[in-house]
Amino acid sequence: MPVDRNRLPPLRTPTVLHFPKIACETLGNGIQLRVVQDQENALVTFVLLLRTGSTADPVDCYGLAGLTAALVSEGSASHTTRGFYEALGDIGGFFGADATSDSTVLSITALARYADQALALLVDVTTKPRFDDEDVERVRNLRLNRIAQLRHSAVSVADRAFLHALYGSHPYGHLPIGTVSGLKRITSDEIHEFHERYYRPEQWRLVAVGDVCSSDLANIVEKITGDLDELSVAQKKEDIVPGPPGCPVNRIVFVPRKGSVQTELRLGLVGVSRHCPDLDALTVMNTVLGGQFVSRLNLNLREDKGFTYGVHSSFDARRGSGPFTIQAAVDVASTADAIREIVREIRDIRSMRPITKEELKLARSSLTRGFSRSYETSSQVARAAMRLALFDLPDDEYTTFVPRINRVGSEDVTKAAADYLDDENLIAVVVGPPIVAESLGDLGFGSPSESLID
C-alpha cells in the first residue's frame, strides 16, 4: 500500500496507563508497606518515605531536615562512610537521600537477588546513623558553600526571594537547603533530637518495587524490620501539614544585582494543595497559560514581543497550599512591560479571553500522550507509589489521569482560572540591575521594597 509522505500520520487515541497493582499492609511495628511486583526489571528498589521535611525546621535552624537527611548517607554505627559505600557497591547498589518541603525520602536500588542486603543497609543507616562531629562539620560546610554558589545565580536568588516574599515565616517560606544563619546555628544535639523525633519506624512508609513476588518482598521487610519496635519512643505520629500563610507584607520585591544584563522575574501567589478538587482543570489551564512551549505566555513574551528566551508557569501542589509561579528572564529594558503582559495574560484567561477549543485540544494532548513515559522503570514506579503515600492518594490515581484530563472542558478551565488566579493578589519579585527599580512603581503592585537574601 503506497504511503503519502507529505502527510503526517493520524494520531491514535492516547493509551491509558494501567499502573501496577500495589499490595498494602501495615506491619506490627507500625511501618506502612507498599509492594509492587515488577517482573520486567532485574532490580529492586526500596523507597523509605517520612512525611517530614523542611516544614519541620525550627525557625532559627532552617536547613535542619535537609542536613539530617544528607548525614544519613555518611554511614552507620556498623558502617563507616567508606564501608557503607563498599557494601553498596558489592550488591550493585545506589543510595539516595533527599529532603523536600513535605518529605524526607531515602532510597536504595540494587540487583533483585540482593534485596535483603539492600534493605538491611537502608534500615541500618536510617535507624543508626553515625552523625560524627567531623562528618557534621564537613557536610554543613558543603551546604554552606552550595548556598554561596547559589548567590551567584540570579535564578536561585529569585527563587529564594519569591518564597520568602510569598510565605514569610510560614514553613514554606524557605528552601530545604536552609539559610546560612540557620545552618550555622544547628548543633549535633539538635540533629540527634530531630532524627529521634521524626525518623521513628512507626512513621515509615516503605515502598518496595522489583522482580520479586509481593509475598517474598513482604517477608524480607518483616525479617529486616521485625525488631524495630524497640526503637519507637512514642506512639504519637508526627504528621505536619502547614496551614494557610498570612498575607504577604509587600506585593513587589526588588533584589539589586549589579552588572546583570537580564532581569529575573517571579510572579505568583499562594496556590493549591494536592487535594484541590479543581486540580485537573488547573493543570489544563496552566498548560495553556504557561506550561508548554506554545503557551500563551511564551507566544506573547518570546515569539511576539521578544522580551525573553522563555517563560514558564507551574502549580507546585503540596500537602499544604503550594506556590503558583511564573518565571522568566527578560531583557532589562523590557522588565516593566514584561510584568504588564504577564498580568494581562492572567486577566485574559480568567474571563476576557477564555481558552479556545484548539487550545484545549492541544493542552490535553500535551498532558496525556507522553504521560506513560514517566512510569517505565522500577525507580520511577517506586517514586510514583511513594507520592501516593505522601499525599494519601488512591492507588488508581495514575490510571485515571488520562481519562480525567480528557473530561476537562473549556468552562472548567475558565472557572478554575477565575477561582484561583486573582491578579489583585499577585506578588512580583524582580532581580536585576539597580536601574530597573525606577520602572517598578507604576505597575499597580505598590512601592517596591528591597530585599537581601540570607
CA–CA separation, 236 vs 225, rounded Å? Answer: 20
Give me 206's grid cell. Answer: 516503605
Judge if 161 and 308 occupy the same domain. Answer: no
- pLDDT at res. 232: 44
Same domain, 47 and 149: yes
CATH number at 97 reads 3.30.830.10
Do 30 and 168 have their domain in common? yes
Query: Which stretches of the chain drop beneath a pLDDT of 70?
Result: 1, 14, 213-215, 229-239, 452-454
| In 200-326, alpha helices (H) | 214-225, 279-289, 296-298
Residues 322 and 438 in one domain: yes
- The values of phi and psi at residue 249, to 5°, are -70, -40
Tell me the backbone φ, ψ of residue 181, rounded to 5 degrees: -65, -40
pLDDT tens for each residue of 146-180: 999 999 999 999 999 999 999 999 999 999 999 99
- Nearest Cα neighbor of 268 from 284, 245, 293, 292 is 245
Strand partners, 311: 328
> CA-CA distance, 429 to 451, in Å (whole number)?
9
HSE of 16, CA atoms in CB hemisphere, 13 A:
11
Nearest to 357 by CA among 274, 429, 256, 288: 288
Number of residues written out for the chain: 454
- The domain total for the chain is 2
**Model pLDDT, residue 171:** 95
Q: Report the distance separating Cα 423 and Cα 283, nearest Å.
A: 18
Are 107 and 203 in the same domain?
A: yes
> What CA–CA distances, in Å, run from 288 to 356, 404, 434?
10, 17, 33
In a domain, 70, yes or no: yes
Considering the domain boundaries, does residue 82 fall inside one?
A: yes
Q: Are residues 206 and 279 in the same domain?
A: no
Strands 205-210 and 43-50: antiparallel
Report which of 399, 364, 404 is spatially closest to residue 277, judged by C-alpha positions.
Answer: 404
What domain range includes position 258?
252-450
| Amino acid identity for residue 214 in this structure | S
Is 346 found in the same domain as 214? no
pTM: 0.91
Q: Are 62 and 194 in contact (CB under 8 A)?
A: no
pLDDT value at residue 240: 73
Bridge-based pairing state of the strands 262-270 and 252-256: unpaired
